Amino acid sequence: MINRLDLRGRSLSARELAATLPRPEVGVEDATKLVAPIVEDVRSRGAAALRDYAEKFDGVRPEHLRVPAEALAAALDGLDAGLRASLEESISRVRQVHAAQRPQDFVVDVAPGARVRQRWIPVQRVGLYVPGGLAVYPSSVIMNVVAAQEAGVGSLVVTSPPQAQDGGLPNPTILAACALLGVEEVYAVGGAQAVAMLAYGAAAELPQDGDVLAEPVDVITGPGNVFVAAAKRLVRGVVGIDAEAGPTEIAVLADATADPEHVAADLLSQAEHDPMAASVLVTDSVELADAVDVALARRAAATRHAERVATALGGPQSAIVLVDDVEHGLTVVNAYGAEHLEIQTADAPALADRVTSAGAIFVGPYSPVPLGDYMAGSNHVLPTGGCAHFSSGLGVHSFVRAVQVVEYSRDGLAEIAGKIVSFAEAEDLPAHGEAISARF
């Protein structure tokens, strides 16, 4: 059901491993060509373009692009009590973890009369995208909003695709999650057009749009399909973005002590997201590999999204990778840089401390990826496509900027004035030196 890649006896460099290991072809470059006219159209026509694209892509022309306050309240009132309790528990745990992420200001007195401070300042306005394609993701609302709130962001915007069956509003569970978190500015806009609206703002079309439908934001975060990723690429530089999120990934590093049923269930849990989702098992145990293969076939046939799962598991992006030993396996997963990495080995905690590239690490048999998707307290917006080699998951750090504040006295500057002038002369920038010497 799933491909096998045998790396036993092969000594490959990190670069060679990265090229050999399975990965989905995302096609952001091709999508960018399709998305560019949409972004420009929204920039120029605002709400009118947003309604046109909603009608074209979502099958509904929203009367209200900005979700009315009464619709948010009604969604919360209609929320199932059990689901509300789950959302509230998730919010509480995610808030605890993200509150601990807040960076601290500091002051350094470099010398007498020479002080440098560093301040962490939240961005002013953030746009949070919540997808609405193959599933409903109130969890993404929580992950994005709580991180921004704990960073101290003052203005939060959530946007999610309009649903024809919900009268042109986003899914009511999405709206209820927004209401639970106190988010009042929510838009029924999806896809690349939502990214364009967040980046450039949008002029009003109808009286209910107000004087201006939406003001631009400083940072856009949240997962989406390839067209959302392409739109983010286009507006990067106009605004900050978290990442160009691709299909979800799970890698499991396991030895013979792992339970094949657990491993199979975890691989399948991410495969149900998307036909392009990547599920990778790295193991030194052929017996485990065989047992997982059997369990996958049985579980995949019985799951609700069997066709989607079969496509993902059978695609070139998924595989069981055989390695010489756990040490070899660690080298492989570090080269892969998975969005989610599970470690199910005899020495999982010690091994986890040696991982150098992963979006998030799940240690031991009772820390499956869906725990992190919903309620561990960690953030589930994570780097994909190998981006874990150089980037982090979403967090408070995604919404703050470090600003250094320099304050020198006359004596503090005088002590090093001559050295600064020498530096300026060496770089052939005499006006730099004159800006110093003019003070003495």
The confidence band for 8, taking pLDDT boundaries of 50, 70 and 90, is very high
Is 218 in the same domain as 360?
A: no
**How far apart are alpha carbons 51 and 216 in whole angstroms?**
18
Amino acid 109: pLDDT: 98
Q: 124 pLDDT band (50/70/90 cuts)?
A: very high
Both 125 and 266 in one domain: the answer is: no
- Provide mean pLDDT across the span 308-330: 96
Q: Which amino acid is at 323?
A: V
| Active-site entry in 244, 339, 342, 380 | 339
Per the structure block, which two tokens stand in for 18? 């990265």
> What is the average per-residue pLDDT within 64-92?
98
Q: Are residues 320 and 186 in the same domain?
A: no
* Residue carrying the six token digits 């899914």: 171
Strand-pairing partners, residue 328, are none
- 404-414 pLDDT per residue, tens: 999 999 999 99
293 pLDDT above the threshold of 90: yes
What is the arithmetic mean of pLDDT over 245-261?
95
User: Is the pLDDT confidence value at 132 over 90?
Assistant: no
In 3D space, the residue among 407, 405, 403 whose CA is nearest the CA of residue 114 turns out to be 407
Same domain, 327 and 216: no
What does the alpha-carbon distance between residue 424 and residue 337 come to, in Å, rounded to a whole number?
43
pLDDT (tens digit per residue) in 381-438: 999 999 999 999 999 999 999 999 999 999 999 999 999 999 999 999 999 999 999 9
Domain-located, residue 385: no
Mark which of 193, 213, 241 sits at the end of a domain. 241
pLDDT surpassing 90 at residue 243: no
Q: 421 in a domain, yes or no?
A: yes
Residue 430, domain extent: 409-438
Least confident of 44-53, 220-229, 258-267: 220-229
Q: Does the annotation list 101 as a binding residue?
A: no
Residue 25 pLDDT greater than 80, yes or no: no
Does 270 appear as a known binding residue? yes
Residues 358 and 268 in one domain: yes
Of 211, 241, 271, which one is at a domain's C-terminal end? 241
Is position 273 annotated in a ligand binding site? yes
Q: Would you say residue 391 lies in a domain?
A: no
Answer with the residue of higher pLDDT: 370 or 24.
370
350-375: average pLDDT: 98
Residue 397 located in a structural domain: no
Residue 340 annotated as binding site? yes
pLDDT of residue 134: 67
- Could you tell me if residue 389 is inside a domain? no
User: Could you confirm whether 340 is annotated as catalytic?
Assistant: yes
Closest CA to 176 of 315, 71, 246: 71
Residues 90 and 202 in one domain: yes
Report yes or no on 80 lying in a domain. yes
Strands 185-188, 202-203: parallel, antiparallel or unpaired by DSSP? unpaired
Q: Are 298 and 332 in contact (CB under 8 A)?
A: no
What is the count of structural domains for the chain?
3
Any idea which of 15-29, 165-179, 237-251, 366-380 has the lowest mean pLDDT?
15-29
State the catalytic residue, choosing from 98, 328, 340, 380.
340
- For residues 79 and 198, state if they share a domain: yes
- pLDDT one-digit tens code per residue, 178-228: 999 999 999 999 999 999 999 999 999 999 999 999 999 999 999 888 899
Same domain for 98 and 211, yes or no, is yes
CATH number, domain containing residue 356: 3.40.50.1980
Residue 225 annotated as binding?
yes
User: What is the chain's mean pLDDT, rounded?
Assistant: 95
Which residue, 241, 271, 304, sits at the end of a domain? Answer: 241
Query: At how many degrees (to 10) do helices 138-151 and 81-99 cross?
Result: 30
Type of residue found at 44 = S
Do residues 155 and 126 lie in contact, with contact meaning Cβ atoms separated by under 8 Å? yes
Across 306-313, average pLDDT: 94
Residue 179 contacts residue 72 (beta carbons within 8 Å): yes
pTM: 0.93
Decide if pLDDT at 373 tops 90: yes
Specify whether 56 is located in the same domain as 147: yes
**Could you tell me if residue 303 is inside a domain?**
yes
Do the domain assignments include residue 115?
A: no
CA dist 137 and 130 (Å) reads 7
Same domain, 189 and 273: no
Instruction: Please check whether residues 217 and 286 belong to one and the same domain.
Output: no
Same domain, 290 and 337: yes
Determine if residue 427 is labeled as part of a ligand binding site: yes
